[in-house]
Structures are given as structure tokens and as C-alpha cells.
Amino acid sequence: MMKQEYRTALIAGAPSQLARELALWLGEKGVRVYVAARDPEELEPYLARARDSGAQLIPVELDTTRVESARERILALDEECGGLDLVVAAGMYEETSARNFPWESAHHLLQINVTGTVALLSAVLPRMLKRGRGHLVGISSLAAYRGLARRSAYSGSKAFISNFMESLRAELWNTPLRITCVYPGHLRNHHAVRAHPEPFALEEKDAAARMGRAILQGKARCALPWQPALVMRLMQVIPGALFDRLARHMR
């Protein structure tokens, strides 16, 4: 794998605190990071931390549910900064109950996790290919490995991201571009009040640092924490009938 320098990065993560922690981590490594949000004022706590640590974080107003305007903004930003070296597309988490399916919430989640991710990454892909450098990162989830109860829209959207990134990597293997898919599990800040806490849940700063190291190393995949990642990999190979019984009790 050729060494690749990262001067500029764009991180679009909807309300994802993990994505913003990743932006801070990269900024502290000397990367000029553009952090996208529908409301840039939401980023102020992270911008304050960046100022204290010397990281260069630049807020960008971006709504990936408005696909055409979002793509135009990304291309303009790519032009302004002399070419984005790294683009990370995260997303959002929300449970969906099959017994009272919330279509509007599910539709919004799919717009962000699926349409928004593809719009973001595909916008800069042709330019990266032309420049002969660049790194695209999609944030999937351990929930992408198998369909989980109460997460039908979320698991489905992340399974799409997993296959989308894998297909890009398969086609672009002989180009200088790097393609990474990250599979984070439950994070402690997100699940502190859950009735069934995850014993191996990571703090968001720790998870962001692990993700950041994997990205800078050019890894194709990064699943964390490793303990639940191993469990979910095993779930992929067990018989469907056995998985159906186990999935009823998974939280």
C-alpha cells in the first residue's frame, strides 16, 4: 500500500458524535478537517475543543437529504481546498419497531444513511480518480452483519453501505484510491441508559482514535470493538433457523 498524505478531509456525520470525535482526532494529527452539519451551530462544542488543542476544524453547512445542493456544495468545497484527500460519510442511528412501523422516521434514516452517503462519496469519486489520490470511508455498523430486531431500517441501511463500499473496493483495486468500511458497535455514550448495556462498549473518543488509526493505515475494513465484532461474524455463518431463535433475545 502506497503511503498517502492527508492534507484535507471532509466528514459528514449527521448528528453522529463519533464522526465529530473522529474529526477532532484527525485535526489533532494536522489534517485540515471540514465538518459538515445541517446546523453548524451544533458543532460549537467541538470547535471550542479544536481551538484548545490546535486542531483545524472548519464547519460546513450541508444537508445530505437535499441531494443536488449537497453535491454542488461538496464539489465547490473540493475546488476551494485544492482537492479533498479524505471523505468520510457517517449517518444516524434510530430504532424502528415492526409492530408500529414509523415510515417517516425510517424514510429520513434511509435518506441520510443510504442516499446521502452515496451522494457524498460519488460526488468526489471522479475527481479523486482523475487526481490519482484519495480515500473514501463509509461508516457502516456491526448491525450490518445480520438483521437485528427493532433495527430493520438501520440494519438494512448499514448492510447497503457495507456492500456499496465493498463493490467500490473490488472495482477500484488497481487504482491509487483507498476504500475503507468501518463497522462500529455500541458506544458507551449512546447506551448508558439502556436496560441491557453492552459490556464491551467503547467510549466515543477511544472508538474515534481506533477508527482514525485504521483509516490512516489504509485498512479495507475496521470492526470494533473486536469482541462483539467476533460474535456478529459468527452470527453470519450459523444456520438461519438458529439465528432466528437467538435474534429474538438480542438487545
Would you call the peptide bond into 176 cis, given omega within 30 degrees of 0 as the criterion?
Answer: no
Residue 116 near residue 64 (C-beta atoms within 8 A): yes
Q: Is 19 helix (H, G, I), strand (E, B) or coil?
A: helix
Catalytic position from the list 34, 93, 145, 154: 154
* pLDDT score recorded for residue 236: 85
- Rg, the chain, Cα only: 18
Give dist(CA 169, CA 137) in Å, integer: 11
* pLDDT score recorded for residue 100: 93
Cell of 70: 449537497
* pLDDT score recorded for residue 197: 57
6 is catalytic: no
* pLDDT score recorded for residue 190: 47
Name residues of the chain where pLDDT drops below 70: 1-3, 14-15, 189-199, 251
Give dist(CA 203, CA 207) in Å, integer: 6
Q: How many CA atoms lie within 13 A of 246 on its CB side?
A: 13
Question: How does strand 221-224 pair with strand 178-184?
Answer: parallel
- What the chain holds in terms of domains, given with CATH numbers, is 8-248 (3.40.50.720)
Neighbours of 18 (CB within 10 A): 22
* pLDDT score recorded for residue 246: 81
Q: For the sheet containing 32-37, what is the strand order? A: 57-61, 32-37, 8-12, 86-89, 135-139, 178-184, 221-224
Q: What is the pLDDT of residues 93-108, one digit of tens each?
A: 999 999 999 999 999 9
Q: Is 94 helix (H, G, I), strand (E, B) or coil?
A: coil
* pLDDT score recorded for residue 194: 52
What is the pTM (predicted TM-score) of this model? Answer: 0.91
Q: What is the pLDDT of residues 13-49, one digit of tens each?
A: 756 889 999 999 999 999 999 999 998 888 999 999 9
